Amino acid sequence: MRGTGIAALLLVFSSMPICQAELGLGEPKVSYIDFYLHDLLVANKPTAVTVAKANTTNASPTVFGEVVVADDPLTEGPELTSKWIGKAQGLYAFSSQSEFSLFMALNLAFTDGEFNGSIVTVIGRNPVQEKVRELSVVGGTGAFRLASGYVLIQTYFLDTTTPNAVLHYNLTVIHY
């Protein structure tokens, strides 16, 4: 009886693999997309807002416990006046008590160009004081169905009087 249950499970799992040919997806492609994200917490029209804080956050040297929701513009160049190519929509939370580190979950929603209407979803740890940080691509929609890959993030500009920042994103995404 025990062997029958295991055999049934093996049969179910062996019939589950996704085959891109069966789904009509074709061969995998690799796309490299370079852009800038503008995170504006202090502005006439902020693109990121704090939505929650722990009762100890204000006393924390690392802002531990603060959660921010973002709807940040993505541009081709580092200036906010550069051509807009999309938005980064999601959240980040200050998640370390010993360093400035964020947990980030973002949808990179492209609104112009070859990937207009498509989304790449990224998630991961962002230790913001490191020169280069890496988040994982965990999926996507549209042209980025079944996406995987990574994004490298570098701080291009940080205003220390406001926490406004311009971040350079270098996205490598495998998709079908």
Total-model pTM: 0.86
The pLDDT value given to residue 27: 87
Tokens 């990574």 belong to 150
Give the pLDDT band (50/70/90) at residue 150.
very high
Domain architecture of the chain: domains with CATH: 29-175 (2.40.480.10)
The answer to whether residue 98 scores a pLDDT higher than 80 is yes
Give the containing element (helix H, strand E) for 8. helix 2-14
As a whole number, mean pLDDT of residues 81-109 equals 98
Residue 174 to residue 143: CA distance in whole angstroms: 10
As a whole number, mean pLDDT of residues 127-146 equals 96
Tell me 45's DSSP state.
S
